[in-house]
A and B are shown apart, each in its own frame.
Chain A
Amino acid sequence: MKFPTFSKGIHPSDHKEFTNTKSIEFMPLPNEVFIPVQQHIGAPDEPIVDRKDEVKTGQVIGRSDKYVSSPVHSPVTGKVKKINNFLHPMGSKVKMIQIQRTGEDDWELLKHPEDWESASIDDLRQLVWDAGIVGLGGAAFPTHVKLAPPEEKPIDSFILNGCECEPYLTSDHRAMVEMTDKILTGMSIIMKVLGVENGYIGIEDNKPDAVEAMNERVQNLNLDFKVMALETKYPQGAEKMLIMSVLDRKVPTGGLPMDVGTVVNNVGTAMAVAEAVTEGKPLVQRVVTITGDGISEPKNVLARIGTPLQSLVDFAGGLSEETAQVFMGGPMMGMALHDLSVPVIKASSGIICSTESRVKKMQSYPCIQCGACVDACPMNLVSTRLAKFSENKQIDAMEDYGIDSCVECGSCAFVCPSYIPLVQWIRVGKYRVNESRNKQAA
C-alpha cells in the first residue's frame, strides 16, 4: 500500500522499539523544579513572584504583556527558592525560577467554561493563552497566536500532527494510543476556535496502533475527522512537508501554513488545549520519552515542566556507564547536553541517552559530488553548494541558492557519505546572511 507523502526525504532507522509499546507512566512529583522564565518564541516573560513566595500548582509565575508571548506556571506547590541564571538545555544560562516543593498538589485552576461547546471563541483563545500553551512539537510558538489568523487569510483546514518523524521519540505515539479522547477533544476545540470544517490527523504508518485507535475513536464519537496514515519518512512531521503530504499544498517560500489556508498543531498541543479548556489546568506537564541504549529502563513519562533531567533519568533506572551522548529532542534536530541539571522545558519531547557517538569516529572526506544531499533535501536545495558558500562567506550566492528556505531538518548531513557537516554549515550561513542584511539595513 502506498501512503501519501512529500518528495525526497530520508529513512533513518527509527529506534522506536525501545519505548513504543510502553504505557505512559506518571513521574512522582520532583522535590525541586527549575522553570525557565521564557519557554516560547516571542517577547520574554518577567517573573511575577519573589523569593520565598508560596506558590500553588498552576499559579502564574512569569508573564509578559506582549501578544506574542506565553505565561509560565508553577508545576508544583511550594516555595520559590531562588530566581537566578541556571543552565538551560540550549547550553547557555538563562533566568529560571527555582521552586522547592512543600507538599502535594494544591491546584490553582484557570477559570474554564463548564461546556466548551457553548463558550465564546474569544474566551477559549484567551484560555489557551492563559494556560501558557505553546507548540509542543519543539518550536514552542505560542498557540493562541496560531489560533488567531489574520482575517485576510481564511483558514479552511486543520491538521493534527501525529507524525513524530524523529527517530527514538514515542511520546506523541503513546499519547495518541492512550489519551485518544483528550487529543480529539483538543482538536475539536482548536477547530472551533479557528472556525474550520476540515480536520485531518496525519500519522506516520509506523504507528499502526495509533492510526487504529484514532480511527476507532473518531468513528465512535461521530467526528468528521480524516485520519491519514502517511509514509514513514523523515521529515514527515515538518509543517510544510505535512501540509504537502496531507493536502498537496505548497507553502510558499518565506510563507506560513496560513498562507495556504492551513493550521498545523502537534498532538501534545491539542492535549494541552483539552486539559486547559475542560479541566482548567495550565501547561505544567508533558509526555517525555526517555530512551536510548544508555538508559536502563526506557519509558514514556508524564513529567512536570521544570523537572531536572537527573530525576527523570533516575526514575528510568539511571544511565549506563558507557553513555557517551545525551540529547533533548530527537536525534535529527535535538540538542546535545553535557549536564543533567537542566530542566524539562515545554519543548522537550524526549531525552535520548546513547552509548555510541559518531563524533569521535567521524572523519570528513572531501565532497565527492554524489548528490545524495540533493536527493534528500525535502526543500529541493543544493545543500553541498550552500555549505561551501557558507564556508566561503559568499552571501549573495547563498541567497541565490535559497538558503532561507532551509528548514534545518538535517537530512543532508544525515546522508552525506563524506560526513560533511552540511546543515551545520548552512546554519552558520544563515547567521552570516542575517548579519550582512542587518549591516545593510543599518
Chain B
Amino acid sequence: MTDEEKKQQEETGEPPSSDGKSDDKQTSDSKTGTKKKARARKKKKAKKKKPDPRSKLFQLDRQPFILAPSPHQYTEDSVPKIMWSVVGAVAPAAIMAVYYFGMPAVWMILACIGAALGTEALINRIKGEGYTIGDGSAAITGLLLALTLPPSFPVSGGIIGSVFAIAIGKQIFGGLGANIFNPALLGRAFLQASFPVAMTTWTAPNTAKFAGIDAVSAATPLGQFKFENIMTQYGDLLTGNIGGSLGETSAIAILIGGIYLLVKKYADWRIPVSFLGSVFILGGIFWLINPAQFPDPIFHLLSGGLMFGAFFMATDMVTSPITPKGAWIFGAGAGLILIIIRLYGGLPEGVMYSILLMNSVTPLINRYTRPEIFGEVRA
C-alpha cells in the first residue's frame, strides 16, 4: 500500500482491499477511459484532502466484501510449510549424526544453519526486498550442507561453505526458486575443491566419544572397497555404524525422513525411485559381469551418500524437473553418472557430481518433456 492510499483510507474509511479498486473501475473507468487517469485523479484527490465522493459507496452497515478473482479456495500447503517439513524430514539423519559423531556434529550443524541464515539475511538487506529467512529454504541449505561434511571437518570450513552455498549457490541467481544448482551441493563442491584433504579425511563413528575418547580415523565403505577391496556389512550400512559424512551414514534414518517426504508429497517420488532404481540396475549389471571387481547393487544403494542424495538433494524442487517424465529422466541420468563415477572415476563417491550435473540439464529436460496436452492431436 502506498502512503497516499493509506491517507485516503484514513480519510474515507475505504479499505485497502481489491474492493476499492473494482469500484474505482466502475465509477471512474467508464468516464475517463483509462486507468492512468483514474490513478492520477486519485493522487490529486489525496493531495487536496477533499473527501472522496466514492466514500459513499462504503457507508455500509457491514464490513465491505473482499473482491478477488477465482479461485477463492486454496491449498493448505505453503512454501514455508514445505521447507520446514523438509527440515523435519532430515532431522532423523541429523540425530543419528549427533549420536555417532558427538558434539562436533552439533557444532557443525548449528554453525552451517547459522551461517546460511546470516548470509541470506545480509543479502536480503543489500537487495532491500524484504527478509526471506523465515521461509526455511536457507535453513535447509545449511542443514543439508552440514550433514554432507566429514565429521572431522573444521567448523570454520563449514561456515565458508554455507556462505558460498547461499551467496553464490542461490542468491546470486535471484534467490529462492531461481538457482540452477542445489545450493547445498554447490557449497560442498566448493569445499571439496578448496579443501580436498580435509574433505576426504574420515573418522570412525565413535559412540563412546561422549566419554571423551578421541576420534579414530577410518575410510568410508566406498573408499575401502575402491582402494582396499574390503566389503562392509549390510547391518552397519543400514544403521550407519560406518565412516562417512555426518548425515549420510545411517540408511534407516534417511529412509524414515525420505518416506515421510514422499507420503506428504513434498518430494517427487519418481526421483528417488528412478535414481535408486537406475543405480541398482546398472550396478547389478556390472556386478553380474564381474562380481570380483564390482560391488553388488545393494552395497551401491546403502553406501556413501546415495540415500541421502536421492531423498534430500535430488528431490530439491527448485533444481529438479517439474514434469513427471522429466523426473524419471533426471533420476535415471543421475544414477548413470553416479555408477560411472563410482566404478571408473578417480573418486570413490559421485552422488554430489551426479546430481549437480543433472541439475544443469534440468531446464533442458523441462523443455523437452512437456506433458501431452489433453485432446491434442499429434501431428
Contacts and interface: CB of A to CB of B under 8 A. Distances in A.
Interface in A394-442: 401-402, 405, 410, 413-419, 421, 423-424, 427
Q: Which 9 A-B pairs have the closest CB atoms?
A: A410-B71, A371-B322, A366-B177, A370-B317, A365-B79, A380-B371, A331-B73, A331-B72, A379-B374
Given A359-B17, A367-B177, A405-B373, A415 B75 contact: yes
Interface bin, chain B: 35 or more
Provide the main secondary structure of the chain A interface: loop
Contact of A417 (B23, B26, B63, B82): B82
A338 B82 contact: no
A336 B82 contact: no
Contacts, number: 177
Contact of B374 (A332, A357, A380): A380
Contacts of B68: 325, 336, 357, 359
B75 A327 contact: no
The B interface is mostly helix, strand or loop, or mixed, namely loop
Contacts of A367: 177
Interface string B18-56: 110011011000000000000000000000000000000
B74 A358 contact: yes
B125 interface: no
A81 interface: no
B74 A240 contact: no
26 contacts: A92-B26, A250-B375, A251-B375, A253-B375, A323-B62, A325-B72, A331-B71, A333-B70, A338-B64, A357-B68, A360-B17, A365-B78, A365-B79, A365-B135, A366-B177, A371-B268, A371-B317, A372-B77, A374-B322, A375-B324, A382-B371, A414-B75, A415-B75, A417-B79, A418-B177, A427-B69
Interface of A: 12-13, 91-93, 167, 240, 244, 250-253, 255, 319, 321-327, 329, 331-339, 352, 354, 357-360, 362, 365-372, 374-375, 378-382, 384, 401-402, 405, 410, 413-419, 421, 423-424, 427
B70 A334 contact: yes
B267 to A, nearest CB: 9
Contact of B70 (A92, A322, A327, A378): A327
B175 interface: yes
Nearest to B132: A365
Contacts of A365: 78-79, 135, 176-177
Nearest to A405: B373
A358 B72 contact: yes
B74 A419 contact: yes
B216 interface: no
A345 B4 CA distance: 38
Contact of B323 (A326, A360, A371): A371
A253 B322 contact: no
Contact of A418 (B71, B79, B323): B79
B84 to A, nearest CB: 12
A273 B66 CA distance: 37
Contact of B73 (A12, A251, A253, A424): A12
B178 interface: yes
A336 B268 contact: no
Contacts of A322: 63
Interface string B215-239: 0000000000000000000000000
B375 A368 contact: no
Contacts of B288: none
A366 B65 contact: no
Contacts of A368: 79, 82, 137, 176-177, 317-318
Given A379-B374, A417-B79, A336 B72 contact: yes
Contact of B376 (A93, A402, A410): A402
B71 A405 contact: no
A35 to B, nearest CB: 20
Given A337-B67, A366-B175, 5 more contacts: A337-B65, A358-B73, A365-B78, A368-B317, A382-B371
A357 B77 CA distance: 16
A424 B69 contact: yes
